[in-house]
Structure 1
């Protein structure tokens, strides 16, 4: 049995503010907390019967997990030049996918901790075939394109509730209670990891009961950015059209192709935030 883990940082035990995730003295401590939460999920997966686990570091520069402290039974996808973003390494050989330390979406998330959708600097709302999605919901649909079901999530209580509205059977481990976007009532990390370990083990033991979330092609993405310059520059990509001053739309034949196209748009939008050539000296 083969399990894929997509790991983010905002939903990790102990995290309550953005400042804790930035490159400073505090960040090093939270890298350790992230690695420990991921290890709890890995241990649970193997306890549940997994024979192979691959982890994709999916936060920020995607180089946060401390490989020397990672459970040696797992393999790690690290680094940020990726076509498949948080899902790099996923294919149809996996039996299930877990989302460790993830967070709620920007649009519609009233109080999930550090809520955003993929890139807080530029994305305001994202839709797949007119359905508003956050990172987990979108990634779950992409996993469904490989016939891989989502089986486990961990993060704050509001995030778990948000995801279980569309994925009621997915096992959820709560790491904290959301108070506001930048405040949380934290469980002790050891308490949170115990729940992660136990729920991940249960998810793998029951893996045959989960069904992939699928979306029929063609697949249309609608993205609302935070600035008009971000939307405009994405139209340099084929099939992307403006639908408003800050909004774009494009259609692809299938969800995996559309996901790659979306990631290209987001990369361009991030670059365009302060002008694409703003730091270039002629």
Structure 2
């Protein structure tokens, strides 16, 4: 069994402030250690469930956060960015049997995490798909579905986990934190790792029931902080500027949508 694991940091237990997410900042040291531990837990769960090949995508910011020397032997890690539309899912294809998400967070426009955002927090105030606020998890799960790979597990903040069960009802979730204002209420780091391992095992055993339903139409809407960025994005073929700060784009599939996002955001 071949498993793909995409790991972010804003949904890791304890992570609360942007300083903790930035490579090179002193506060990042503990956060990346816990990010690594939660990734190890997911890998161990996958191996216990029968995975023979595991690929981990370091999917946060620099994509150079995980201490790969601490991961189980045999696990392959994708560091850095591949300059592909799959972005946080770089390298996924039809050969995988399941996708796992660790450390994910609420979408821009939601209040489930002090660090809630979608893709590019410096430029976008929100991203919507078919009129609904889109999280990075939703977009990436649609990429997984594009390659017919089921999504079996998600960990992150409570709001994201609860909302995402509506998209993939049979996947396993572990909410390691709850966000309130600028605060987070966090699960103990060791318990978070134990819960992630157990959840991954359960999710992989149930993978045949975890296919992601893909909408027939995909309308991308992006709200920009600066009207100049919306104007610039409007020149991408097929993009329509719908207000001073927002654009929309009708995509034929998630690959088309992610290519447009890559160029306009």
Give 1:49 deviation, angstroms. 1.4
1:239–1:179 distance in 2 versus 1, CA, 3 Å: same
Gaps of 5+ in 2: none
Partner of 1:276: none
Q: Counterparts of 1:1-282 in structure 2 under 5 Å?
A: 1-22=1-22, 23-83=24-84, 84-107=86-109, 109-180=110-181, 182-216=182-216, 219-266=218-265
1:89 aligns to what SS in structure 2?
A: coil
Displacement of 1:6 in angstroms is 1.0
Q: Matches of 2:114 and 2:160 in 1, distance apart?
A: 8
Judge conservation of contact 1:113–1:156 (CA < 8 Å) in 2: no
CA RMSD of aligned residues (A): 1.6
Displacement after TM superposition at 1:215 (Å): 2.6
Paired residue secondary structure (1:54): strand
Whole-Å separation in 2 of the counterparts to 1:216 and 1:162: 20
Q: Give yes or no for contact 2:13–2:186 (8 Å, CA) kept in 1.
A: yes
Worse-superposed segment, 58-67 or 3-12 = 58-67
Deviates more, 1:94-103 or 1:222-231: 222-231
Structure 1 pair 113–193 and aligned structure 2 pair: CA distance change class (3 A)? farther
SS at match of 2:104: coil
Structure 1 runs not aligned, ≥5 long: 267-282
Q: CA deviation at 1:9?
A: 0.2
Could you tell me how far apart the structure 2 residues matched to 1:163 and 1:28 are?
A: 29
- C-alpha distance in 1 between matches for 2:16 and 2:231: 34
Q: Distance in 2 between matches of 1:52 and 1:113?
A: 35
Cα distance between partner residues in 1 of 2:185 and 2:133: 28
Q: Distance in 2 between matches of 1:120 and 1:80?
A: 18
TM-score normalized by structure 2? 0.93
**Aligned partners of 1:185, 1:126: CA distance in 2, in Å?**
26
The range that moved more, 41-50 or 72-81, is 72-81
Q: CA deviation at 1:88?
A: 0.2
Residue 70 (structure 1) shift: 2.1
Moved over 6 A (4+): none
